[in-house]
């Protein structure tokens, strides 16, 4: 049985780096490219694009 394809990733705000970070998981086999989601940044008080960080 396989160990699992889900890995932990960190999403960081692109508009103001370092102000907002989210942690989540993704399936490495189905999603090979970097994940990009719209999340809420409490410092800027608006929804911004958060991109997967290495």
Prediction pTM value: 0.86
Which domains does the chain show, CATH number per domain? 6-53 (2.20.28.120)
pLDDT by residue (tens digit) across 19-40? 999 999 999 999 999 999 999 9
Task: Quote the CA–CA distance of 44 and 33 in Å, as a whole number.
Answer: 27
- At residue 1 the predicted structure's pLDDT band, cuts being 50, 70 and 90, is low
User: Taken in order 30, 46, 10, 52, is the CA torsion positive or negative?
Assistant: positive
Q: SS in 3 state form for the chain?
A: CCCCCEEEEEEEECCCCCCCEEEEEEECCCCCCCCEEEEEECCCCEEEEEEEEC
């Amino acid at each position: 049985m396989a160990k699992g394809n889900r890995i932990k990733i960190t999403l960081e705000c692109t508009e103001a780096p370092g102000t907002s970070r989210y942690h989540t998981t993704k399936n490495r086999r189905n999603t090979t490219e970097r994940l990009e989601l719209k999340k809420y940044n409490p410092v800027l008080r608006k929804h911004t694009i958060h991109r997967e960080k290495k």
